[in-house]
């Protein structure tokens, strides 16, 4: 689906280290490829044990996992909204993404100099928030100037509605808050969706901690959790140092042993990839046959014809019905035929809303 998460953060917070670790995620999830589209864009496999389990049962010729794109966005400095440093490039790169992974430094280390001289994740967060908010404010002001005359003459109802929404967003931004927390309905937000406001994007906060804090967190992490409690955002604890050590190990077994020694059940990179997938409001459904077991990415709420269209547009145009087996039933009974015999295969029509983990087969006619 070509969806992207952008990794942002101040210089020296561990942002690029995490991105580099993601490039080695293939050995932690199985032999699936990572590839670089540009120097700072990677296509990352989404780890999903359900795919592996289905493959064990079906024994296909090929296994195809879900992927998302992760973009390592150049470090931001104060004044980026006015073009300082790589400001315009940085903000343009964020605008092109669907969600933001915001890396915050939550560890003390005298050997790693902080760009502002001390460790303070809340200050760091506010620096980036402020720059994004200022850029959004500029974007909103320009649109207000465009629609204000039409709104005030009263001849265009949509212009009046848009003007009122923009005015509410402007007030929210001027109070130092991001658009994602503005009291605006989803329907109203559609009036200004084309602006691609930077602070309207969903965000995941990644607290980069030292090795001792990876299981329990620390005082910095607690401050971050308190600061973002009203943002409806997930906070993930990761040690970029541990992840870089894992990335240097050559085999899957070595990595698993290392994780066990650290008291971790899985790598932080895997958790990050899955959290990014969730952040984009995505679901997975599966197709399972002897030629291929494959995971397909859909947006939460997709109907069966929309899900079929992800495979090919003809599947959606000529949709007749979907044959659906719940993942747990497929695993319990072991095969499609066994599920049929047990009455666990349902035939669904155009209004069926696909659930995460559905195993599906489509009937269509073009």
Q: Which CATH number is 12's domain given? A: 3.40.50.300
**Could you tell me if residue 249 is inside a domain?**
yes
Does 14 share its domain with 81? Answer: yes
Out of 199, 226, 253, pick the residue that ends a domain. Answer: 199
Does 172 share its domain with 38? Answer: no
Which residue range is the domain that position 179 belongs to?
Answer: 127-199
116-124 contacts at long range (C-beta below 8 A, 24 or more positions apart): 116/10, 119/220, 121/207, 121/220, 121/223, 121/224, 122/223, 122/224, 122/227, 124/9, 124/10, 124/13
List 237's β-bridge partners, or say none. Answer: 207
Does 95 share its domain with 243? Answer: yes
Task: Please give the C-alpha separations between residue 35 and each of 2, 43, 93, 98, 245, in angstroms, as whole numbers.
Answer: 14, 5, 19, 20, 21
Alpha-helical segments (H) within the chain: 15-22, 26-29, 49-58, 87-95, 121-153, 157-174, 186-189, 219-227, 240-248, 252-261, 268-279, 304-311, 313-317, 327-333, 336-341
**Could you tell me if residue 292 is inside a domain?**
no
The 3 state secondary structure assigned to 169-215 is HHHHHHCCCCHHHCCCCHHHHCCCHHHCCHHHCCEEEEEECCHHHCC
Sign of CA dihedral 228, 225, 105, 41: negative
Q: What pLDDT was estimated at residue 21?
A: 81
Among the listed residues 294, 296, 300, the one whose alpha carbon sits nearest the alpha carbon of residue 282 = 300
**Could you tell me if residue 328 is inside a domain?**
yes
Does 182 share its domain with 227? Answer: no
Q: Which CATH number is 341's domain given? A: 3.10.20.30
Q: What pLDDT was estimated at residue 59?
A: 94
Does 193 share its domain with 137? Answer: yes
Does 336 share its domain with 352? Answer: yes
**Could you tell me if residue 285 is inside a domain?**
no
**Could you tell me if residue 136 is inside a domain?**
yes
**Strand ranges across the sheet with 292-299:** 62-64, 292-299, 282-288, 359-364, 319-325, 345-348
Instruction: Show Cβ contacts of residue 81 under 8 Å, excluding neighbours closer than 6 positions.
Output: 87, 91, 130, 131, 132, 134, 135, 138
Q: What pLDDT was estimated at residue 29?
A: 37
**Could you tell me if residue 190 is inside a domain?**
yes
**Could you tell me if residue 60 is inside a domain?**
no
Six token digits for residue 288: 């399972």
Q: What pLDDT was estimated at residue 179?
A: 93
Does 310 share its domain with 329? Answer: yes
Does 334 share its domain with 266? Answer: no
Q: What pLDDT was estimated at residue 96?
A: 83
Six token digits for residue 302: 């997709």
Q: Which CATH number is 150's domain given? A: 1.10.150.300
pTM over 0.95: no
Q: Quickly count: other Cβ atoms within 10 Å of residue 357's Cβ.
A: 18
Out of 248, 279, 310, pick the residue that ends a domain. Answer: 279
Does 217 share its domain with 85? Answer: yes
Does 73 share its domain with 221? Answer: yes
Instruction: Show Cβ contacts of residue 360 under 8 Å, excluding neighbours closer than 6 positions.
Output: 285, 286, 287, 304, 307, 322, 323, 324, 325, 354
Does 133 share its domain with 91? Answer: no
One digit per residue, pLDDT tens: the chain, 366 residues? Answer: 567 888 888 878 888 888 888 765 443 333 344 444 454 788 888 889 999 999 999 999 999 998 888 888 766 656 655 655 445 566 777 888 889 999 999 998 877 766 667 889 999 999 989 988 998 999 999 999 988 888 777 667 788 889 999 999 999 999 999 999 998 998 999 989 999 899 999 999 999 999 999 989 999 999 999 999 988 889 999 998 898 888 888 788 888 899 888 888 888 888 888 888 888 889 999 999 999 999 999 999 999 999 999 999 999 999 999 999 999 999 999 999 999 999 999 999 999 999 999 999 999 997
Does 207 share its domain with 114? Answer: yes
Q: What pLDDT was estimated at residue 28?
A: 38
List 7's β-bridge partners, or say none. Answer: 72, 101
Q: What pLDDT was estimated at residue 71?
A: 85
Binding residues, as ranges, are: 12-17
Out of 169, 199, 229, pick the residue that ends a domain. Answer: 199
Q: Quickly count: other Cβ atoms within 10 Å of residue 61's Cβ.
A: 10
Q: What pLDDT was estimated at residue 30?
A: 38
How many domains are there within the chain?
3
Binding residues for ATP, as ranges, are: 12-17
Q: What pLDDT was estimated at residue 154?
A: 66
Q: How many CA atoms lie within 13 A of 241 on its CB side?
A: 15
- The maximal CA–CA distance of the chain, rounded, in angstroms, is 70
**Could you tell me if residue 284 is inside a domain?**
no
Q: What pLDDT was estimated at residue 23?
A: 62
């Amino acid at each position: 689906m070509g969806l992207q998460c952008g990794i942002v953060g101040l210089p020296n917070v561990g942002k690029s280290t995490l991105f580099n670790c993601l490039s080695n995620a293939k050995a932690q999830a199985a032999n699936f490829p990572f590839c670089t589209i540009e120097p700072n864009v990677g296509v990352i496999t989404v780890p999903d044990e359900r795919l592996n389990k289905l493959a064990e049962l079906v024994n296909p010729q090929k296994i195809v996992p879900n992927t998302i794109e992760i973009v390592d966005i150049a470090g931001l400095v104060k004044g980026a909204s006015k073009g300082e440093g790589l400001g315009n490039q940085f903000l343009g790169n964020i605008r092109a993404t669907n969600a933001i992974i915001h890396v915050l430094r939550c560890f003390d280390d005298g050997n790693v100099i902080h760009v502002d001289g001390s460790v303070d994740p809340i200050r760091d967060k506010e620096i980036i928030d402020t720059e994004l908010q200022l850029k959004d404010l500029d974007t909103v002001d320009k649109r207000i100037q465009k629609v204000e005359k039409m709104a005030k003459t009263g001849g265009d109802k949509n212009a009046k509605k848009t003007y009122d929404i923009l005015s509410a967003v402007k007030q929210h931004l001027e109070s130092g808050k991001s658009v994602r927390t503005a009291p605006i309905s989803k329907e109203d937000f559609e009036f200004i969706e084309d602006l691609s406001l930077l602070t309207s994007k969903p965000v995941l906060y990644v607290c980069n901690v030292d090795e001792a804090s990876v299981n329990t967190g620390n005082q910095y992490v607690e401050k971050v959790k308190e600061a973002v409690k009203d943002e409806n955002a997930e906070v993930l604890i990761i040690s970029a140092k541990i992840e870089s050590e894992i990335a240097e190990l050559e085999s899957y077994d070595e990595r698993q042993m290392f994780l066990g020694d650290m008291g971790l059940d899985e790598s932080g990179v895997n958790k990050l990839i899955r959290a990014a997938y969730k952040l984009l409001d995505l679901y997975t459904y599966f197709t399972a046959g002897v030629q291929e077991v494959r995971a397909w990415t859909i947006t939460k709420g997709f109907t069966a014809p929309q899900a079929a269209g992800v495979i090919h547009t003809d599947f959606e145009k000529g949709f007749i019905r979907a044959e659906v087996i719940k993942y747990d039933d497929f695993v319990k009974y072991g095969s499609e035929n066994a599920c049929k015999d047990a009455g666990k295969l349902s035939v669904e029509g155009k209004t069926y809303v696909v659930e995460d983990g559905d195993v599906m087969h489509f009937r269509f006619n073009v």
